[in-house]
Chains A and B, each alone.
Chain A
Amino acid sequence: MANPVTPAKATRQTTVRKPARRIRGWDNRMAFFTLIPSLILLGVFVYGFIAWSGYVSLTNWNSLIPTLTWAGLRNYATIFSSFRFQSDLRNLVVFTVLFIAGDLVIGMILALLVDQKIRAEGLFRSIFIYPMAISMVVTGVIWSWILNPTTGINLFFHALGFTHVPEWFLSSRFAPSVHLGQIDIGIPVGLLAVVIAAVWQMSGFAMAVYLGGLRSVPEELKEAARIDGAGPWRTFWSVILPQLKGTTATIVVIQAAASLKVFGLIYAMTGSGQDFSTDMPNLNMFQTTFQGDAFAQGAAIAIVLLLLMAAFTVPYVLSMLRGER
């Protein structure tokens, strides 16, 4: 009816296609059905449990007896005014910034070096990535030995004649130390030791991602820069680095997510530290909830973490999905 000219060939095609299309329609529905078990599991274990935690955070359940009476935002007020949680937020910001900066710089340097058409490239890559295969609690245990103030790296400093050696993760100093309300704003020196361990563990990821990025920069661009008389540094800053903007953004998002999840490393390496100088919200939540039995306050900490996480991962995942099409 739609097409006045109907050649015999076209008619034959439709008769062949018809059953296939019918099956496909049914199979597309089948594809949806097969997702249902996973959707139910995640619906309960992720979204349902988050909603449940959110609800707990608004109740008075701060003892072993689940008192689910309405508390409004009181638990949030309690945690935000507490010395410990304020310290946590400072530590989280310091840790995230230093950890990501260290990862980006070291990851980029290693990627550039490995990308120089060198021999044994695979071996070097393997060496820089292997810490990713190790548990963060193992990392914590090993580095608490290497950075132990009475031994480890400090033996080298002693051998070199230094009398004032770093206290590493046992330090309770702040640099700089600016009082703001009840907490010191500044870099908790003890946290630097944790950053070192974390960068050791995760910089291989940044290297691997940057290496992939470097290899997808079109050769013509580098060639054009060379013809224009740009040296290697100039080419890197003005041609290659801008091409890697998306790659850098990806590393920042993934590593920021990792930093918001850091738990085992702190637990095994330093604990909360003196005056919570190496504490993190995750550890605070765990101890508040399961050792202090303040379930509602623990839930409030968890919800704050979740919101922080969602603030940058939701846009990231959305743009990733949109970029596919």
Chain B
Amino acid sequence: MAARRVNQTLIYLVLIIASILYLLPVYVVLVTSLKSNAAVSLAHMWNLPAHPGLSSIRAAWAQLSQNFGNSFYLAIPATLLSSALGAINGYALSKWRFRGANALFFVILMGLFIPYQSVLIPLLRVMDTIGLYNSIPGLIIVHTVYGIPITTLIFRNFYANIPDDVLEAAKIDGTGYWGIFRYVILPLSVSGFVVSAIWQFTQIWNNFLFAVSLTNPPNQPVTVALVNIAGSQTIQWNVQMASALLVSIPTLVVYIVLGKYFVRGLLAGAVKG
């Protein structure tokens, strides 16, 4: 019994130390963001701010507010569109049997595993040709298309867990393909949409490669703006950290509120359907 208690204490001790290490960046970001330009110094990086204030956060917001708008304007439609396509595909692939269904799923799924550099040159040319280079609508299309593989996978796995019996009754009643989708499948899809939407929103919000390749100021999403701020020699660490904080808030809020669903999206690519 005593040995067990020692063991338990040890487990909590290691877990708490690990938690402190994982939360270290949060501490650094918070204390640095709350310092003013004058108070930030290399030697006292770990110290709590003597006079905490919002001047750094305000300075960061002044630089980022427009990019925030861009990121929301990008992430929300692209999330909804890619989730809708994923639901339609997942329904077709999990609830209906047609020849070549598995081969087509493979063709869709492999889109998840490409280094996007391998499509970047044609992508820029095409976006330029159709007039969507350096525009948020262009990025919406890009994220919708490259989101299809993961949303299809999420919904296919999700619908595979809905028993086929649920559909049988509707089929015998003569309800058609879309009727079943509308009246049987969609009402059961809420948590599937939550998983897909959270995952896509986080991925699109956090994406950097497409953003930096396809947009210039003032159309850049927040991630590019953050890198520009961090790369500037004249901007102090407190403003950089405040910017990093602001950029992370939307996805962190989503994670804190709906973390369970985020983890399901995280595991979608790793767990067999």
Contacts and interface: CB of A to CB of B under 8 A. Distances in A.
Interface of A: 16, 19-20, 23-24, 26-32, 34-35, 37-39, 41-42, 45-50, 52-53, 56, 110, 113-114, 116, 118, 124-146, 148, 150-152, 155, 200, 205, 208-209, 212, 250-251, 254, 257, 260-261, 263-264, 267-268, 281-282, 285-286, 289-290, 295, 298-299, 301-303, 305-306, 309-310, 313-314, 317-318, 320-321, 323-324
A286 B120 CA distance: 9
B104 to A, nearest CB: 6
Nearest to A33: B92
A145 B236 CA distance: 11
A30 B22 contact: no
B98 A50 contact: no
Contacts of A317: 106, 109-110, 113
A256 B85 CA distance: 28
Contact of B227 (A128, A267, A321, A323): A267
A41 B120 CA distance: 15
Contacts of B240: 141, 145
B41 to A, nearest CB: 9
Contact of A155 (B46, B119, B171): B46
B25 A143 contact: yes
A313 B121 contact: no
Contacts of A140: 230
A52 to B, nearest CB: 4
Given A53-B122, A145-B240, A250-B270, A42 B177 contact: no
A51 B155 CA distance: 29
Interface in B190-206: 202, 205-206
Given A133-B255, A141-B226, A141-B227, A324 B98 contact: no
Contacts of B18: 110, 113, 128
B252 A130 contact: yes
Interface stretch (B48-56, B62-70, B132-140, B260-268): B260-268
Contacts, number: 277
SS of B interface (majority): helix
A305 B266 contact: no
A49 B122 contact: yes
Given A41-B145, A113-B11, A151-B43, A132 B227 contact: no
Contact of A151 (B42, B110, B121, B171): B42
A21 B25 CA distance: 60
B79 interface: no
B107 A27 contact: no
Contacts of A146: 24-25, 28
B106 to A, nearest CB: 6
Contacts of A23: 171, 174, 176
The 6 closest A-B pairs by CB, nearest first: A135-B206, A31-B96, A264-B208, A49-B119, A31-B92, A313-B113
A23 B148 CA distance: 28
